[in-house]
Amino acid sequence: MDNMESITHRFIGLVRPLVGGRAVYVADQDAIITASTDPGLIGRRHEGARVAILSSQIVRISQHDLPQYPGSGEGVILPLSGPDWRGAVGICGTPAEVEEQGNLLRLCLTQHLERSALAGSQLYKDYRQRLLQLLIYGECPGQELQRLCTLLGVQLQFPMRALVLSSGGRSMIKDGSLTALLIDRGFINPQRDVYGVEGDRFVLLRYAPPPEPGEPTIARQLYDLVREHFMVEPVLARGEACEDYLGLCASYREANWLSRLGQGYRDMSDRAQEAQYLLGQVDPGACERLIGPIYRDMRHQFTGEFEDIISTIEFYCTGEGLAAAAGQLHIHKNTLIYRIKKVSSIAGVEKESAFVKEFFLRLLVQYHRQHTRKP
């Protein structure tokens, strides 16, 4: 924890523009002013602060009270107390006019002191882990989430997305060196992002503004940094951006599933990887009902060339283009187009969008593999 004086100096710097020119000050446990918007007050002993600290009560000093508080001016002084610190915060002005501001100042300064005491402790790590779990497992936002955000000084900002990183057995996730690197390089903003370790993977829920045209995504830059800095071949998976808590949970499920596909960079914005994810979510019973009859009809209609048709679909779904797929199959491009149209017609998706068509074709390939796999 930083010492109280350094914390209160930072606090005074933050509130200076917000108090309309009024003098604000913080006194230590001995009622000595250690920080103030008025440098002339620093080092003075404040009688009103002494009374507030000893009584643990708010002290209001009006014009007619000044003789009781030598060296003080009009204002409100509010006591501060915590496990490791005591003091007071005050604001100058007519008590009726400044008391509300004084209460807000005490609340904000207390939170600053609590966060400083928390930072770096095991409790801080536990709170961050709990906040991460609330968000990735879809527990309804409520008082606990708000309380944790307040304690940790986190202000969530949407759109957000989930990133999941696996290090291939290296200790950089468990020992904290990955977290330290990402904070140092600006990939994590602890006041806005949520991060932690879940199982053997590092999870980052990050603010996700759209990238500038032509710029690599933040996730791609992060992947390259980790690979070069730690000299590993990591897995980094990026879920879709979202606008609410339920979407953030879905983004985590996407990234977590993609992260299990093997080394490299995985991204739900890649159509082929999105299709892989969606295929992985299909219920086997539903797949049998939907694809089974179409698959059997294809086997009947393509007797003698069925394996060629399956190979055609596989190469077509690589996304490398018709000419490349035809070249790999050693057939004319028009032959490939004819086969895909024929299959789409049998599946009843010839009038659907390109994505829906490709999704059905991938389902057919997956179904074929499952039913021809050797025991």
Of 351, 318, 321, which is closest to residue 337 (Cα–Cα)? 321
Q: pTM for this structure?
A: 0.61
pLDDT for the residue 1: 44
pLDDT for the residue 373: 66
pLDDT for the residue 202: 95
pLDDT for the residue 63: 94
Task: Please list the ranges in the chain whose pLDDT falls under 50.
Answer: 1
pLDDT for the residue 374: 54
Query: Do 203 and 128 form a contact (C-beta atoms < 8 A)?
Result: no
Tokens of 311: 């190979």
pLDDT for the residue 24: 96
pLDDT for the residue 360: 84
pLDDT for the residue 371: 82
Query: Do 43 and 33 form a contact (C-beta atoms < 8 A)?
Result: yes
Of 375, 364, 373, which is closest to residue 288 (Cα–Cα)? 364
Tokens of 12: 């005074």
pLDDT for the residue 368: 87
CATH class of 4-118: alpha beta
Q: Is 123-269 in CATH node 3.30.70.270?
A: yes
Burial 187-202 (b: 16+ CB within 10 A, else e): bbeeeebbbbbeeebb
pLDDT for the residue 326: 87
Helix axes 122-136, 95-118, angle to 10 degrees: 100
Give the CA distances from residue 96 to residues 3, 19, 50, 101, in Å, rounded to whole numbers and listed in that order: 32, 15, 21, 10
Residues 176-216 have pLDDT tens digits of 899 999 999 999 999 999 999 998 899 999 999 887 777 77
Of 171, 224, 225, 229, which is closest to residue 202 (Cα–Cα)? 171
Of 149, 204, 151, which is closest to residue 181 (Cα–Cα)? 204
Domain-wise residue ranges, the chain: 4-118, 123-269, 282-372
